[in-house]
Amino acid sequence: MPAIGVGDITLHYEESGRGAPVLLIPGTAARGRTWALHQVPALTAAGYRTITLDNRGAGRSGPAAPGLTVDHLVADAIAVIERVAEGPCRLIGTSMGAYVVQELLLARPELVTQAVLMASRARPDAVSQALAAADRAMAGAGVTLPPEYDAVTRALLNLSPRTLEDPQSAQDWLDILEVSPTDWAGPGMRAHLDVVLDTDRRAAYQGIRVPVLVLSFGDDLVAPPARGRELADAIPQARYVRIADAGHYGYLEQPAAVNDAILGFFAAA
């Protein structure tokens, strides 16, 4: 896996395809390879060059020191755009990755031609703040959950009831989640859990002038569609699409619908 140095850390990334570059930024403590199953093949087949990033503290990138902020991750993404994409490119982010993209659109808009924000929001609410605090408490307690319990709780929080109602689909997801348990004690996870949207950014996002597509997932408990709608409304001329029968992992649950929305938005530029 290729890498670049940024200060005292190394950022690892993977590239596929040829054409106009698209940088894909994953969510909290996730690896760039989460895009490889569905989004990378669709984008490369459509003639794009994909760059999937391991954020600092995740995958082979690191380390993520205590006190990590969204500004650190924005600076990392800027380095990848300038040194790997070698100029302005399209961006896709989900969850925490979308938050990074949102802030990058304000910090360095000239580096972005189009942006897709998935499973995101423009302001916190009571539930999102409580969830963030609970996650930090879990990480701070040094507790290791049994993989079976971790898998079930993640499935209930991140997947659509439609997915869980199908016995085979539910079992497939539980098997996948059980063999990749949450590393609550890992320093990368602890650092990433501090990168949360904890202030109302709607007024700031009114200054975004880059073309944006906001994608919400109909059954998302972490970033409900109402929060995604608010985000789209805050960004001048942003497009909004709601994907049905999908939870917070909607880009993996409903990849065809997600990919169609992304490619249609890109083609309309």
Q: Would you say 29 and 188 are in contact if contact means Cβ atoms under 8 Å apart?
A: yes
Catalytic residue flag (residue 248)? yes
Q: Cα–Cα–Cα angle for 185, 187, 118, nearest 5°?
A: 95
CA distance 193 to 173: 24
From 54, 76, 95, 135, the catalytic residue: 95
Which among 45, 77, 53 has a CA at the least distance from the CA of 1?
53
From 12, 72, 192, 248, the catalytic residue: 248
Q: How many residues does the chain have?
A: 269
CA distance 79 to 47: 24
From 54, 76, 135, 220, the catalytic residue: 220
Q: How many CA atoms lie within 13 A of 234 on its CB side?
A: 22
To the nearest 10 degrees (0 to 180), the angle between helices 70-80 and 96-107 is 70
Catalytic residue flag (residue 220)? yes
Catalytic positions, please?
95, 220, 248
